[in-house]
Copies of this chain bind each other. A is one copy, B any other.
């Protein structure tokens, strides 16, 4: 991992905006908003790097990630006076981040020669766990464990990734297709309330 890449930048910015929006909805102070944006954007990647032993963590020595989070947070606070609709902003940027970071995580797995299942696990961890840590920090039930399809979208994108790869598609194509399919799938899932089955739903417990 030499220098920061476009894909990291977009994912980091998108999750920072989503995180800052969530924190503002909870009326945290400006520092709290920044910290939550940071956790949302870099938490998943940090957990991934700790699990694969890629330490010291890059954001301690390379300040570019922190700068992106800072600028995104400032932009979110600034535009908040213009745009009122937190919920849809959060959803949109969260979906973008989900797509980009799934690809980043899968790439890490491939660079470690992991089995596709391990790669998809890393993609899902990278994409989802920043949000989980954010939700736990804000005392919300993690979005990932609620009914809405979320982590499943990331896994679905990972399957698309490896399917196209096995079919011999060029790298650019299966990365972009993975990313786009995640964003589209996520937005559709929310719009049409797609849910995974809970076969024990009907019972009283």
Contact = CB atoms under 8 A, between A and B. Distances in A.
Given A52-B56, A60-B118, A61-B115, A145 B205 contact: no
A35 B122 contact: no
Given A27-B205, A142-B137, A145-B32, A55 B50 contact: yes
A193 interface: no
Give this chain's copy count.
Answer: 3
A49 to B, nearest CB: 9
A151 B35 contact: yes
Interface of A: 24-32, 35-36, 46, 50-53, 55-57, 60-61, 63, 66, 77, 80, 86, 109, 112, 114-115, 117-118, 121-122, 132, 136-139, 141-142, 144-147, 151-152, 195-201, 205
Nearest to A198: B29
Contacts of A139: 139, 141
Nearest to A115: B63
Contacts of A146: 32
A45 B171 CA distance: 35
B52 A60 contact: yes
Contacts of A53: 53, 55-56
A118 to B, nearest CB: 4
A138 B146 CA distance: 10
Which of A29, A31, A50, A115 is most buried by chain B, counting CB atoms within 10 A of its CB? A29
